Amino acid sequence: MTLEDLIINTYCLVDNYLKEENFVRLRKRGEPPSLSDAEVITMEIIGEYLGHGSDKRIWSYFKEHWRHFFPKIVCRSSFAKQCANLSEVKKKLQIYVSELLSHDQDLYLCDGFPIPVCHIKRYKRSKTQLRTHGSVGYCAAKVEHYFGFKGHLFITQHGSVVGYEMAAANIDERDVLPEIVGNRSGLLLGDKGLIRPSLKAMFARQNLNLQTPLRQNMPDSRPKKLVSTMMNMRRIVETMIGQLVERFHIQSIKAKDLWHLSAKVGRKILAHTVCFMFNTIVNPEKPLALELLLD
């Protein structure tokens, strides 16, 4: 698939969704924006996939290289405002695409990742709204503390995001998981951080079997080969988190308030979900290899 094809297909997907869900008239008063909502969301998705993680960089890239596709590109501030105002639409679009990709799935994976917003040494001097919402957390992968939030992912075995949530870094992931799991059933693979008998029992009542590795002081009657196989499957969620960090720069978001931070996290999740969907068509054997999406 060429980049031009990706832009056209993304625009068609977004435009058809907005029309089907009757999102055409989002504004009750005032002049309509120069760029349509479908054009703006398309620019955001493609820009995120290409690594232009901020509104300014996305706007600059399309103004310089794709003016023939988007001739009515307005000033940067108007573009940024329109991006922010469409956050709820993009969230619903992500749910719509994820349901298309996961309607017949019954094997899920979950994990969390840090979303730092300020260096641990500077957060007490911060004057932004995020100081009151974020908290100090610990990143085991980097063996360091950070200040900010933690992203929680709930995905299929192939790598499609089914649900996600962002919470303060000190909130236990076992308290967040039920909110993003919903009423789904099947098999859920997690890490040791999800060990809690009451949580496992709650999921069992909705026919969701939560399986995690056990700590060394806990007896495990499960076959070792089965446990090893299940834990190897969890590498998929680790690969996906790596993509969100390296390609979509989800740990490098600049925002001064919780609303804008949440909107930008949601945009990156949407971009990953849409690109994953197209890659299942282009590269069905390697749907999570997003670098193979473009020729």
pLDDT on residue 64: 94
3-state secondary structure of 202: helix
74 pLDDT band, cuts 50/70/90, is confident
23 pLDDT band, cuts 50/70/90, is low
Fold of 105-256: Nucleotidyltransferase; domain 5 (3.30.420)
CA distance 248 to 245: 6
pLDDT value at 80 more than 60:
yes
Mean pLDDT of 229-254: 91
pLDDT value at 21 more than 80:
no
pLDDT value at 27 more than 80:
no
Mean pLDDT of 67-89: 91
pTM for the predicted model, two decimal places: 0.92
Residue type, 169: A
Q: Looking at 103-143, which runs of residues are DSSP E strands? A: 107-118, 135-139
**Token pair recorded at residue 64:** 């310089």
Closest to 37 in 3D by CA, of 81, 70, 83, 2:
83
